[in-house]
A and B are shown apart, each in its own frame.
Chain A
Amino acid sequence: MTGVGTNRVAIIVDGRAVAADVEPRTLLADFLRDTCGAVAVHIGCGEGTCGACTVALDGIAVRSCLMLAVQADGGTIVTAAGLAALDGPPDAQNLTPLQLAFRAHHALQCGFCTPGILVATALFLRANPHPTRAEIVDHLSGHLCRCTGNVPIIAAIEAAAGATAP
């Protein structure tokens, strides 16, 4: 406890209500991992560059390392662990259509960048169900993948977009 006290934060994380008193300086990414146990939130750079920590806050993709936990008070958060809420129902193995496309196209290796990309891409495809390749590349500019390379990731997103096309 510091001289500046704590603030109450009540949020919903992947359908589960969590409330806790936190120091204002607590970053949302740390709050999600340490207090909420949402370990699908990966912290790569911690400075807004890599996109690994991206979560959906009230339906908008945000960098959880560039937000304070107190700012999210009252909000609803979806991480990659709750992807079905953004991407549609999972199959028998609990994989959503986007996850299946990533597997089919070998769009992940170590998987560190993947949770952020999945959340951001599910929201991206909601807003733009039939993106061009250029739009997908622009979308991915907010995500760094250090091992797979963007080509299979782009292919997976193209396939997922095609699969959800009417």
Chain B
Amino acid sequence: MKPAPFAYERPSDVAGVLALLGDGGPQKAILAGGQSLVLALARRARTPELVIDINRIAGLDAITVDGEGCLVIGATARLEEVRVHPAVRSGWPLIAEALGLVANPVVRRRGTLVGNLSNNGPGCEMAAVALVLDAEFVVERLGSDPSRVPSAIFLTLGGTVGFVTAVRFPPPSPGGFAFVELSRRPQHVCTLGAAVQLGPAGPVIALAGFATAIRCTAAEHASTPEALRAALAADLAGAGSADTLDEYRHDVAAVLVGDALAVARSRAA
């Protein structure tokens, strides 16, 4: 459980990170909360040559609502700070509800939301939330303007796109919401989790627990439990899971999505 050797830098501003990061690649690792990265280093699942610690960059931990009404969460904002933030709880309660199921209070005080989503391990609850709420990632690279990468793309890239300075959630959807999951024990990574947000165009649904979270567009149009089951099977077709329990997962997915829809609708009423 000892990391392989690497060099360590602690730049004091974003420009310093970009200069060190260069073209990125697996030889560079950005260290925020470290609750995924330090474990990966210790297991030697990751063996970068350079670790860039962004924890002492002033202002990067901000949680703000911008002029367009979007929630902007900086790269070093801790999971627990996001979870208890008044603006998050009132405007984006799905985020707060799902965060309550992520890790434990001590790990949440240290881990960051951007890091959690960049790592996007199997069973990452917040990846499903990012898909449902249509989050986008603010990515900076040396010599170019910051770009915004939609969740649907970002979550498949494995966080290698550049320096993610923030994650941005569109203005609140006033409808009901729910995050329901099955996990081996509370606050463990989920086996499967269902995120639901009701909006003017109907429910938006995503499932966590596969190689990455999956938006379930067919299930969003299902009107009966039987139709929901068939629709989920279509949504999940080809979703490579880590093991061969696909039939079980499809069963559980139908139950969780059904429960999450019921909770969301009860909250909307």
A residues sitting closer than 8 Å to B (CB atoms) are: 2-5, 7, 23-25, 27, 30, 46-48, 51, 54, 60-63, 65-68, 70-71, 120, 124, 138-139, 141-142
Contact = CB atoms under 8 A, between A and B. Distances in A.
Contacts of A67: 34, 38, 110
9 contacts: A4-B6, A23-B5, A24-B8, A27-B42, A46-B1, A46-B42, A63-B35, A63-B110, A71-B53
B105 interface: yes
Interface string B25-55: 0000001001100110111000001010101
Contacts of B35: 48, 63, 66
B201 interface: no
Contacts of B109: 60-62
Given A4-B7, A68-B51, A141-B186, 15 more contacts: A23-B5, A24-B51, A25-B41, A47-B1, A60-B109, A61-B105, A63-B35, A66-B39, A66-B110, A68-B31, A70-B10, A120-B106, A138-B105, A141-B104, A142-B107
Nearest to A27: B42
A68 B34 contact: yes
A124 B80 CA distance: 14
Most buried by B among A7, A54, A67, A68: A68
B4 interface: yes
B170 interface: no
Contacts of A54: 106
B187 interface: yes
A65 B43 CA distance: 12
A142 B34 contact: no
B49 to A, nearest CB: 8
Contact of B7 (A24, A61, A63): A24
Interface string B89-122: 0000000000000011111011000000000000
Interface string B140-165: 00000000000000000000000000
A152 B43 CA distance: 34
A54 B105 CA distance: 12
Interface residues of B, number: 30
A48 B8 contact: no
Interface in B50-98: 51, 53, 55
A60 B105 CA distance: 11
Contacts of B187: 141-142
Contacts of A120: 106
Contact of B106 (A4, A5, A24, A62): A62
Nearest to A124: B105
B8 A68 contact: yes
Contact of A48 (B3, B55, B107): B107
Contact of B39 (A2, A4, A25, A47): A47
Contacts of B42: 27, 46-47, 65
A25 B6 contact: yes
Contacts of A2: 5
B2 interface: yes
Contacts of A60: 109-110
B225 to A, nearest CB: 32
B37 to A, nearest CB: 9
Contacts of B6: 4, 24-25
A104 B31 CA distance: 42
Contact of B107 (A4, A63, A70): A63
Which of B8, B35, B106, B109 has the most chain A CB atoms inside 10 A of its CB?
A: B106
Contact of A142 (B10, B38, B39, B105): B105
Interface string B186-200: 110000000000000
A142 B5 contact: no
Contact of A25 (B5, B10, B104, B110): B5
